[in-house]
Amino acid sequence: MTDKPIWLTEADVVGLISLPEAIDALETTLALEAEDQAASMPKTHLMIAANDAMHAIGASVAGEGICGFKTWINVQGKSETTMTLFSTEDGACLAVIEATALGQMRTAAVTGVGTKRLAANGADDMGIVGTGKQSLPQIAAVHAVRPLREVRVSSRNPDTRHVFAENVTARLGIRTRAVDTLEEAVTDTPIVTLITNSTEAFLTADMLAKGSHLNAMGAIVPSRVEFTDDVFARADLIAVDSLRSVRDLSTEFRSHYGEDDAAWQDVRTIASVIAANEIRPEGADVTLFKAMGMGLSDLALAIEVLKRARAQNKGHKVPDRVKLPARLT
């Protein structure tokens, strides 16, 4: 018999799982995807303004008997996200999870997984472009897998980036500097993360140091772009979270690879990299990891949160569902 559904608040989620634990949970589930034991549904979105969109993603993990959907709307950078989990055994609702913090951890955790696999061992400097709500978790995720000595921060607003840099140092204990130019943030930097809402490409290949790793995390709808096409020529290993979502929604990748199926063979899923237990190729010039966000990443964390909530008797009772016939007249 399916357990009665529970509602998990943002506070419940934060209390039940940490970012390093989320990285481990995600890597474990992504390995299942490579074995066809887990899958994501295609990501869907609808633009409701020039740079605002509503989104829906979902996934299923066969071995857990759980599937789920995450839905949200992003308006001028603001959103409130929920995730609903269902049993694949009887279709019952298992949980509703307030998923803003979970989504931040998922977005950061997938960066942690990509960085763990593709950044050079010993890389301890990071440049980040963007200071929005996802930026601090992005740094924390990289720090979890490549302990950082210094972070350099670039953004359009000097006041914002200085406050952000101070916050990173205070929260994570990492020396963090706000810099005046993009070039200062990325020059001679072994790990670079882009997490912006930019609609114009700003990072060019010649800005990246030999031996560096690039996480491109911000452009998740076709209206957004962050790096120029010449980055692909330098990338010796290119990995993505969801090949289908990248093919459908990433302007950067679609402009470069078009509809040539043979050319797309150069793009790996991070799940296949994990399954093969691969790491950064020796002597690689640049590695590139692109994440669009996929349902399986959210579901991996949500399943772990649900397990912990049940074990600790956490969560809030959802009213019993009583099915009634529709009123026809």
The alpha carbon torsion through 109, 115, 116, 119 (nearest 10 deg) reads: -170
Indicate whether 237 and 128 sit together in one domain: yes
Q: 115-147, pLDDT tens digit by residue? A: 999 999 999 999 999 999 899 999 999 999 999
Residue 12 lies in a domain: yes
d(CA 106, CA 52): 21
Residue 110 lies in a domain: no
Three-point CA angle 232, 237, 239, nearest 5°: 90
Indicate whether 263 and 303 sit together in one domain: no
pLDDT at 68 over 90: yes
Q: 273-314, pLDDT tens digit by residue? A: 999 999 999 999 999 999 998 899 999 999 999 999 999 999
Indicate whether 286 and 300 sit together in one domain: no
Q: 199-256, pLDDT tens digit by residue? A: 999 999 999 999 999 999 999 889 999 999 999 999 999 999 999 989 999 999 999 9
Domain of 259 in residue numbering reads as 120-290
d(CA 152, CA 150): 7
d(CA 27, CA 83): 20
Residue 203 lies in a domain: yes
Residue 74 lies in a domain: yes
Indicate whether 127 and 269 sit together in one domain: yes
Kindly report the pTM of this predicted structure: 0.87
Cα-Cα-Cα-Cα dihedral sign, residues 165, 170, 172, 175: positive
pLDDT at 1 over 50: no
Closest CA to 118 of 182, 193, 186: 193
Indicate whether 135 and 283 sit together in one domain: yes
Question: If DSSP codes are grouped into helix, strand and coil, which group holds residue 178?
Answer: strand
| pLDDT at 76 (0 to 100) | 85
Residue found by looking up tokens 């911000």 in the block: 218
pLDDT band at 321 (very low <50, low <70, confident <90, very high): confident
- Residue 130 corresponds to which amino acid? G
| pLDDT at 45 (0 to 100) | 86
pLDDT band at 51 (very low <50, low <70, confident <90, very high): confident
